[in-house]
Amino acid sequence: DHTRQCAALALGTKTQLHPTAQELIAGRIQSMAEGDPIKADLSSPENQHRFKMGEFPIGSDIIPNPYNQIPGFRIQEHHFLPGFPVMAAPMMAWSLDEYYADLFHRENWAEQSFIVPKGIESTLTPLMERIEADFPGVKVFSLPSVGDAARGGVYAQRHIELGIKGNANLLDNAWIALRTGTQALGYEIHDIA
């Protein structure tokens, strides 16, 4: 992986073992050693190689990793996370909460949707466009699916999740119009539990 070195090069700096990353990686090594002094030896070549995962561009901040304690980093509004979603998802959530919380919920945002079994997007498109035209500030979305037999029920067959999103104060009338308009086209609708 050359990500850390490339980020440093792009930012005109070098990499350096971050002291907090060093502590976190050392802690991870100790916990994985399960009391084995050979595995716990921080000076072993294998463990010295592990510390390279904490070499970040100089000036970086740590992004904590609750999954395995090997941190990501942030520098100049750039965020670097592992490629595994199980690790990246909580790290991204932490980054958003830590650095961008002031951008959340600037308005009373809401979203509602229902399932349209055997829905055809091209048939629903004029209704979707009409809802957006009649209710400024409301966005309509359509998420087609080929079906998932493992989920069963209406989800097992081809369907569309059809919904609206926007300021919660604007959704009530748009919601009624979307539901009645979908039914007027001859479709069944199933509420999402």
When comparing pLDDT for 85 and 45, which is higher?
A: 45
**Interval 66-87: pLDDT, tens:** 999 999 999 999 999 987 888 9
141, 132 contact by CB (below 8 A): no
Q: What is the pLDDT of residue 6?
A: 97
Average pLDDT over residues 169-188: 96
What local confidence, expressed as pLDDT, does residue 163 receive? 97
Q: Virtual CA dihedral for 103, 111, 173, 119, nearest 10 degrees?
A: 140
* Phi, psi angles (nearest 5°) of residue 62: -80, 140
Distance (Å, rounded) from C-alpha 141 to C-alpha 118? 16
Q: Is the pLDDT of residue 28 over 90?
A: yes
How many C-beta neighbours within 10 Å does residue 127 have?
Answer: 19
Strand partners, 78: 75
**Mean pLDDT, residues 39-63:** 96
Q: In this predicted structure, which of 40-44, 150-154, 186-190 has the lowest mean pLDDT?
A: 150-154
**pLDDT score of 134:** 97
Residue 193: pLDDT band by 50, 70, 90 thresholds? confident
Does residue 22 carry a pLDDT above 90? yes
pLDDT of residue 84: 87
Domains parsed from the chain with CATH numbers: 3-103 (3.40.980.10), 109-191 (3.30.70.360)
| Bridge pairing between strands 72-75 and 61-63 | antiparallel
The pLDDT tens digits of the residues spanning 77-135 come to 999 998 788 899 999 999 999 999 988 877 788 999 999 999 999 999 999 999 999 99
pTM of the model: 0.58
Query: Chain-wide mean pLDDT for the chain?
Result: 94
Tokens 């750039």 map to which residue?
A: 78
